């Protein structure tokens, strides 16, 4: 059993070349990426984000995720003590051409977004038999 | 509470309001106050307090909440369930055990605490104990 203790990581703000027209701050979701024979999987933490407010798109081999926070839930709440800030999440990754872009799947559960990017047939590893 | 109703300035106003209370002295008197996992924000809503805690990707049966007088303990284990035979490109998420106790400056009604876990957010609704509610005093 993994019994190491978990630490709180400060949220990283988005630093982009273009400035956003909206003054509010955006954050970079904590991301794990792993790969197996069939697919590349991207797992991003976006606590508080609902399915309807996430936009995932691929353009020129760039996968971009944008998630908007529904802050209406904070209406009527007066902060007395805070340790973290909230905001929209955004992050993008450059895909290699080996991804079957039409077959990308996205699933959001309990604030964790899982993107499954299946590899194109030609990119799957082949075991070479030794004759 | 019109503070967050204008869609253009609303999120920024909320972010500024949160910023201004970062690690305020509200919990500071207790030794178990700050730091640790998970990060906690506390709000006032009328007479009640609401703790909003970011805990993405938790399994509900690995998350435990205990309350006694004015202390609340949140403990559990955040585990990952990735397939074993993978090569990892990037690892930023944290996993492991956590145990955090906060002591509120007011006694809460432990039996009336309500907990909700949605979208990776744990919300604890903390009504003050009867003894902590204000009473209006009549002038004789």
Say if A31 is an interface residue toward chain B (CB within 8 Å).
Answer: yes
Across B75-87, average pLDDT: 90
pLDDT the model gives residue B25: 74
Of residues B55 and A16, the one with the higher pLDDT is B55
Which residues in chain B have Cβ-Cβ distances shorter than 8 Å to A8? 35-39
Of residues B105 and A53, the one with the higher pLDDT is A53
Q: What is the pLDDT of residues A31-41, one digit of tens each?
A: 999 999 899 99
CATH architecture assigned to A28-122: Sandwich (2.60)
The distance of Cα A93 from the centroid of its chain, to the nearest Å, equals 9
Which of A5, A6, A35, A76 should one mutate to test binding to chain B, selecting the residue with the greatest count of B CBs within 10 A? A6
The number of C-beta contacts closer than 8 angstroms across A and B is 179
Quote ipTM for the complex: 0.83
**Domain residue spans of chain A:** 28-122
Dihedral angle over CA of A122, A124, A127, A128, nearest 10: 20
Average pLDDT, chain A: 88
Which residues in chain B have Cβ-Cβ distances shorter than 8 Å to A45? 56-57, 93, 120
Q: What is the pLDDT of residues B22-69, one digit of tens each?
A: 877 777 655 555 568 999 999 999 889 999 999 999 999 999 999 988
**Residues whose CB falls within 8 Å of the CB of residue A75, separated by 6 or more in sequence, listed in order:** B1, B4, B5
pLDDT the model gives residue B1: 44
Across A97-110, average pLDDT: 90
Of residues B43 and A123, the one with the higher pLDDT is B43
B42:A81 CB<8 A = yes
Report the percentage of chain A scoring pLDDT > 70: 91
Q: Which of A1, A106, A20 is nearest to A58 (CA)?
A: A106
Gap between the terminal Cα atoms of chain B: 35
Say if B30 is an interface residue toward chain A (CB within 8 Å).
Answer: no
**Domain residue spans of chain B:** 25-82+94-132
Across A41-59, average pLDDT: 94
**Which B residues in the span 109-128 are in contact with A, Cβ-Cβ below 8 Å?**
117, 119-121
Running DSSP on this structure, what letter comes out for residue B20? Answer: H
Return the SS3 of B55. Answer: coil
pLDDT the model gives residue A1: 47
- According to CATH, what is the number of the domain B25-82+94-132? 2.60.40.790
């Amino acid at each position: 059993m993994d019994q190491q203790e978990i630490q709180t990581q400060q949220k990283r703000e988005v630093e982009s070349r273009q400035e956003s027209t909206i003054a509010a701050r955006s954050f970079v979701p904590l991301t794990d990426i792993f790969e197996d024979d069939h697919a590349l999987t991207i797992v991003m933490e976006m606590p508080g984000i609902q399915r309807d407010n996430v936009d995932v798109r691929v353009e020129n081999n760039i996968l971009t995720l944008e998630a908007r926070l529904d802050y209406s839930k904070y209406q009527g709440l007066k902060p007395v003590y805070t340790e973290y800030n909230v905001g929209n999440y955004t992050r993008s990754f450059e895909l290699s051409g080996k991804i079957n872009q039409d077959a990308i799947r996205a699933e959001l559960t309990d604030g964790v977004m899982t993107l499954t990017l299946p590899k194109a047939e030609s990119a799957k590893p082949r075991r070479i038999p030794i004759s | 509470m019109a503070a967050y109703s204008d869609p253009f300035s609303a999120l920024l106003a909320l972010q500024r309001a949160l910023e201004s209370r970062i690690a305020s002295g509200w919990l500071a008197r207790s030794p178990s106050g700050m730091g640790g996992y998970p990060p906690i924000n506390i709000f006032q809503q009328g007479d009640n307090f609401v703790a909003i805690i970011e805990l993405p990707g938790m399994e509900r049966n690995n998350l435990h909440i205990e309350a006694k007088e004015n202390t609340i303990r949140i403990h559990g284990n955040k585990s990952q369930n990735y397939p074993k035979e993978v090569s990892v490109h990037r690892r930023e998420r944290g996993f492991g055990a956590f145990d955090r106790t906060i002591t509120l400056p007011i006694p809460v009604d432990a039996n009336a605490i309500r907990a909700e876990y949605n979208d990776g957010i744990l919300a604890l609704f903390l009504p003050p104990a009867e003894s902590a509610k204000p009473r209006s005093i009549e002038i004789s």
